[in-house]
Amino acid sequence: MEGSVANEVIEQRLAEALLVEPLSSELATRSLELSLTYCQPTANTALCLDIDGSSATGRLTWWSDGNVYLEALRLLDGSSLLSAHLVASSSEQALGMLKVLMAVVGGLSSNSSFEADGSAAAQLKR
């Protein structure tokens, strides 16, 4: 199954079921908080998924035309851990990108240095 297209997910407000719920147990295991915000309707409406961890925070912004922006910052000094512009035409692709963001936000060691996760990097390149 290819998943729902971006504009369907955003306009019909399906992100809770298609993006948040599949990750709920992993979020709890990693002690990460996720919040979902639907932006004001426009010609290219977006949604934002914010992930907060103990050492980093991140955001996935997904527009109805399929464009995605991923960003993550280290809380200690505000330095950028991830900044990427991608395209996700389906909810499955957006879910994969959200998993990458979770790995980056949750992958900081106690000394706040990023530990690259090979599977996360591979997922992002898809």
Question: In this prediction, what percent of the chain has a pLDDT beyond 70?
Answer: 83
Q: How far apart (Å, rounded) are the C-alpha atoms in residues 121 and 75?
A: 21
pTM of the predicted structure, to 2 decimals: 0.84
Write down the pLDDT at residue 96: 96
Q: Which residues of the chain have pLDDT under 70?
A: 1-2, 108-126
Write down the pLDDT at residue 117: 42
Q: How far apart (Å, rounded) are the C-alpha atoms in residues 112 and 121?
A: 19
Write down the pLDDT at residue 108: 57
Domain ranges of the chain: 6-125
Q: How far apart (Å, rounded) are the C-alpha atoms in residues 120 and 104?
A: 8
Write down the pLDDT at residue 5: 93
**Total Cβ atoms within 10 A of residue 17:** 12
